[in-house]
Amino acid sequence: MSAGERFRQALVERAPLQIVGTINAYQALQASKIGHRALYLSGAGVANASYGLPDLGITGLEEVCIDVRRICAVCDTPLIVDADTGFGHALNIARTITQLIKSGAAGAHLEDQVSAKRCGHRPNKACVPTQEMCDRLQAAHQARKLDPHFYLIARTDARAQEGLESAIARAQAYVQAGADAIFAEALQSLEEYRAFVEAVSVPILANITEFGRTPLFTLEELKSVGVSMALYPLSAFRAMNKAALEVYLDIKERGTQRDQIARMQTREELYEVLDYYSYEAQIDALMRKN
């Protein structure tokens, strides 16, 4: 079963399907071991965590694929990838989809912002014309030959500048262009999600990101209006960052990390996620043979 097929199966079996952000391979293992069925690699996560850059379209395809390959090498849980605007024109977009499939991804979302994109919850976003986004999606749709089940999500950022009706009209055109689902960015109420669900014939994804324009709706609230996927792109990353900063401050100001120990993962807990002892046993067996 391909990665795309595994994602589609999870989507059928879990409604709504929670998709949790994992910025590296270890986080992917953590999320998978406690039972999450779908993972996500955020473009902001790649830019922020791997390169120390803001999420402004600065990183490229290969930099994203490096993190995709690292995650998919150790984890079979299907991974959805943020492909920004596709990293170029139609030929670049086709290559983006091919390389993501080769790297192990189960699916990706493309957005309708201009190439000089911004975070979806920041002001002054600008979208390309609807037909240009449809051209992006058609290029992506035609490129998924290596995994015909690769899940293609169209993200629209039009709600902020053009209003709800225009965003829905765009989404309907994107479905006709080959999108398997719609990522309606920065919606502000359950009623807006319900409007998308009723107007569009494919699953709707809700981006439940912290400190943005969308309220932190519960899974049950999203289910009540027919949303099929709930995305939590950087929740764990934000928690990790705050915890790390507090540790750094304690070490600097108090000269010890003692007060932070209770908040730390133990060595045994780390080893359990990594299956450390099975690796060690293999080394011991090899040494006995020699």
pLDDT (tens digit per residue) in 121-180 = 877 788 999 999 999 999 999 999 999 999 999 999 999 989 999 999 999 999 999 999
Q: How confident is the model at residue 116 (pLDDT cuts 50, 70, 90)?
A: confident
Annotated catalytic residue within 37, 72, 75, 82: 82
The question of whether 147 is a catalytic residue gets the answer no
Annotated catalytic residue within 6, 36, 109, 136: 109
The question of whether 151 is a catalytic residue gets the answer no
- Structure token digits, residue 36: 């999450």
pLDDT in tens, 35-69: 999 999 999 999 999 999 999 989 999 999 999 99
Q: How far apart are CA 209 and CA 104, in angstroms?
A: 25
**DSSP characters for 171-218?**
HHHHHHTT-SEEEETT--SHHHHHHHHHH-SS-EEEE--TTSSS----
Q: How far apart are CA 215 and CA 188, in angstroms?
A: 7
The question of whether 185 is a catalytic residue gets the answer yes
This prediction has a pTM of 0.95
Residue 121 confidence (pLDDT) = 83
Q: How far apart are the first and last CA of the chain?
A: 39
Annotated catalytic residue within 6, 8, 48, 84: 84
**DSSP characters for 33-54?**
HTT---EEE-HHHIIIIIH---
Residue 283 confidence (pLDDT) = 87
Annotated catalytic residue within 185, 192, 193, 232: 185
Q: CA 108, 112, 117 angle in degrees (round to 5)?
A: 95
The question of whether 55 is a catalytic residue gets the answer yes
The question of whether 246 is a catalytic residue gets the answer no
Annotated catalytic residue within 6, 144, 149, 155: 155
Among the listed residues 255, 193, 182, the one whose alpha carbon sits nearest the alpha carbon of residue 224: 193
The question of whether 36 is a catalytic residue gets the answer no
The question of whether 280 is a catalytic residue gets the answer no
The question of whether 207 is a catalytic residue gets the answer yes
The helix or strand, by DSSP H or E, that contains position 18, with its residue range, turns out to be strand 17-21
Annotated catalytic residue within 6, 36, 37, 40: 40
The question of whether 84 is a catalytic residue gets the answer yes
The question of whether 141 is a catalytic residue gets the answer no
Annotated catalytic residue within 67, 111, 147, 157: 111
